[in-house]
Structure 1
Amino acid sequence: MDPGASAGNQQRVSTPTDTSGSFRRRGPRFTDRIVAEPAGDGQWPAEPGRYRLVVSLACPWAHRSLIVRRLMGLEDAISLAIVSPIQDERSWNFSLDEDGRDPVLGHRYLEEAYLARDPEEGTENGVSVPAIVEESTGLLVTNDYPWITIDLGAEWAKYQRAGAPVLYPEGLREEIDAVNEGVFHDVNNGVYKAGFATKQARYEEAYTALFARLDELDERLAARRYLVGDHITEADIRLFTTLVRFDAVYHGHFKCNRQKLAEFEHLWPYARDLYQTPGFGDTVDFDHIKRHYYQVHESINPTRIVPLGPEPSAWLEPHHREELGGSPFGPEGTPPEPLDGPLRPLPPLDM
């Protein structure tokens, strides 16, 4: 993903490390929020039909927003654009669309939305996904990935489907934030710190912290179905998008190879439980994921060969996590309607 920006704009020509050999992630450049009742500068109104969510199916940070949009039933309120998993020197592009342009925004590259917002410094921190773009003007509203999911879950309540879950309940926010803090530094970002390290010591530090945190999470999930409370929250969504990529990408490609996710006693059934929950597995595309990491990160994989495994059917094996109690959407929640088909299939790999 992004060598230096928040969420996913690894360009094949960039170097994501500093002089110490450490991976450095830059924060989001545009931190405006879309809220139910705007109260000043930097706040936009939650208004159906006004915004377009731009994601990569490969990017774990963007994947979060895709899951939340689906869980909350906001498909009719916020349109969706899916970029190609293969970036070039201008980063994320719409080459999968007809004529290589997004049919709503008219852009060939997501950077056009960034430059529409700020012509001089719009791409200073890179071009990252997820991004929310105003449809009528084509300019970027926000790329603040942590707040995008929180606000989709809370600030769009008026337009959410009946039975939508409460993903960031007030009484659990302190605990959710504490779990998310550790997961972000050691797991979500930790795999990147290991994968992009250019010094042995920096790699070993990230590797050690990653597996220490995974061990802690594995123990935490021994007697509870979800990370916080008795139904899915922001914490589960943020961990899932890294876990679902772990064996396919991070274990080998990023050298996070002490063990596979499938070898954890509790994390593996937990991840399968989420994968089999509507809104999670049906937004996963292993083809996009593997093509992005293995074909874009040429400094790590110069041959650009995409592995065939692991076998995705393992994600559908019984998990028995329901025996721990709780329910995915809460006592009054219901699952979203099934998707019609895959979100954006890719053409066959070049031989």
Structure 2
Amino acid sequence: MSTFSTPLAAVPPAQRPARFRGRIGRDARSGHYAVPRRYRLHLTTACADGLRIAVGHSLLALDDICPVTFLAAVPDCPGGGHSVLRPLYEASAHRYTGPALAPVLSDDWSGRIVSTHTPDILRDLDRCFGDGRGRLYPCGAEAEIEEVERLCAQGIEAAAQRAGRAGADAAERAAALDVLLGTLAGLERRLAGREFLVGDGLTAADVTVWAALVEFDTVHRHHLDAAAVHRAADHPALWAHARRLTARPAFGAHLDLDGIARRHHARCAGLEAAGSAVQILDWARHAAGAPGSRRG
């Protein structure tokens, strides 16, 4: 999401995206049973949520279980939606006039949307279709992973957006940066002497933090001054972790730097700051060993 995107509260209700929170296998009344190849993902890896789901889908090796339709980086409809998703939204919400946004988990049997909520989608893919050997949400670690997910949403994404919107309001910018840098410092401490954020293996916590750092370094830093970006970069364990993950095929193969840049420039109305010249990681170089992606 662009740092200067329109706040949801400012969007007329009829134009707001519908929020679907169906679950696979949780509610028998919904009819969403865990059947292979019944469900389909619609993703753009140019946004952090789509990137998270794409990586999780690859880690769980679900190509033959839950197909993926990769969408263009830049939506083709007014209001930021994808025309290919509009029939799903219109079939799922009566007289829907809002944007048809990704990510979407749809039910091919009914032609309707199951969920647009990234954490629920990842949990259901893991619980219903994972083979049990490499779990994104291992038993007993769910609460800790959810805490990392909250930290990323509030302390990285929201704080970076807030700092970028602050403009000439020095106090507002400083407060937002304090939250951002405090979150990065907390994640840095969590990684001290450890390979992964939660437990002894790769989990959804690592996927979420990686996607948040990609978005920060490719989108949000453009609206921060160089000093702020340097302070964010001063967390060596955290950025080394991101670098290691990028070299893994499940991560690097989905890294669409050109798409992220085009989406950002198409959506963003903010002024760029001195931070735009400061890149923390050379993402393309670290992903160079990963096989090519399947993005459209």
Query: TM class, shorter-chain normalised?
Result: 0.7 to 0.9
The more displaced of 227-236 and 83-92 is 83-92
- C-alpha spacing 1:43/1:61, structure 2 compared with 1 (3 Å): farther
Rounded Cα–Cα distance in structure 2 between residues aligned with 1:133 and 1:293: 26
Identify which range, 278-287 or 132-141, moves more after superposition: 132-141
Aligned pairs (5 A) from 1:177-188: 177-188=146-157
| Equivalent residues of 1:117, 1:139 under 8 A apart | yes
- The answer on whether the counterparts of 1:72 and 1:164 sit within 8 Å (CA) in structure 2 is no
The superposition leaves residues 200-224 of structure 1 with CA deviations (integer Å, 9 ceiling, x where unpaired) of 3544432221111111211221211
Alignment partner of 1:132: what SS?
A: strand
CA RMSD of aligned residues (A): 3.2
Structure 1 residue 40 displacement after superposition:
2.9
Q: 2:126 aligns with which of 147, 150, 153?
A: 153
Q: Which residues in structure 2 correspond to 1:157-172 (within 5 Å)? A: 157=130, 160=131, 164-172=133-141
Quick check: 1:32 aligned with 2:22? Answer: yes
* Shift in CA distance, 52/17, structure 1 to aligned 2, threshold 3 Å: closer
Residues in 1 aligned to 2:124 and 2:187: alpha-carbon distance in whole angstroms: 26
Deviations 1:30-78 (A, max 9, x none): 100112xx54334611212222201111110111111111111111111
What is the rounded CA distance, in whole Å, between the counterparts of 2:225 and 2:22 in structure 1?
36
> Is contact 1:54-1:129 (8 Å) kept?
yes
Match of 1:176 among 142, 145, 149: 145
State the alpha-carbon separation in 1 of the partners of residues 226 and 146 from structure 2.
Answer: 25
Whether the aligned pair in 1 keeps the contact of 2:2 and 2:220 (CA below 8 Å) is no
TM-score by length of 1: 0.70
Match of 1:139 in 2: 112
Task: Output the CA distance in 1 between the equivalents of 2:194 and 2:80.
Answer: 40
Distance in 2 of aligned mates of 1:292 and 1:257: 26
Distance 1:44 1:136, change over 3 A: closer
Task: Tell me the alpha carbon deviations over residues 304-340 of structure 1, each in whole angstroms, 9 at most, x when there is no partner.
Answer: xx99x774344369xxxxxxxxxxxxxxxxxxxx85x
C-alpha distance in 2, partners of 1:73/1:213? 31
* Aligned equivalent of 2:89: 114
Identity %: 28
TM-score, normalising length: structure 2 = 0.82
After superposition, where does 1:1-351 map in structure 2 within 5 Å?
A: 1=1, 15-16=6-7, 29-35=19-25, 38-42=26-30, 44-87=32-75, 88-93=77-82, 108-121=83-96, 123=98, 126-157=99-130, 160=131, 164-196=133-165, 200=169, 201-253=171-223, 258-260=228-230, 262-297=233-268, 299-300=269-270, 311-315=282-286, 339=291, 341-344=292-295
Aligned partner letter, 2:293: P
Confirm or deny: 8 A CA contact 2:65 2:129 kept in the other structure: no
Matched residue count: 283
- More relative contact order in 1 or in 2 (CA 8 Å, sep 6+)? 2
Mapped contact 2:257–2:284 kept (Cα < 8 A): no
Q: Secondary structure at the match of 1:120?
A: coil
Query: 1 CA distance for matches of 2:160 and 2:206?
Result: 17
Query: What CA distance in whole angstroms lies between the structure 1 residues aligned with 2:251 and 2:63?
Result: 15
Displacement of 1:147: 0.7
Does structure 1 retain, via aligned residues, the 8 Å contact 2:57–2:125?
A: yes
CA distance in 2, matches of 1:199, 1:41: 52
112-121 vs 229-238, greater mean Cα deviation: 112-121
Q: 1:245, CA displacement in angstroms?
A: 2.7
Residue 229 of structure 1 aligns with an amino acid whose one-letter code is G
CA contact under 8 A between 1:218 and 1:267: conserved in structure 2? yes
User: Contact conserved, 1:33 with 1:43, CA < 8 A, in 2?
Assistant: no
5+ residue gaps, structure 2 = 11-15
SS at match of 1:92: coil
Q: SS state of the match for residue 229, structure 1?
A: coil
Q: For the residues of structure 2 that align with 1:257 and 1:150, how far apart are their CA atoms?
A: 38
The answer to which structure has the higher helix fraction is 2
CA change 1:258–1:198 in 2 (3 A) is: closer
SS in 2 for 1:141: strand
Amino acid at match of 1:276: A
Letter in 1 for 2:178: T
**8 Å CA contact 1:194, 1:255 repeated in 2:** no
What SS is found at the alignment partner of 1:292?
helix
For structure 1, the residue ranges without an aligned partner over 5 or more in a row are 4-9, 20-25, 94-107, 318-337, 346-351
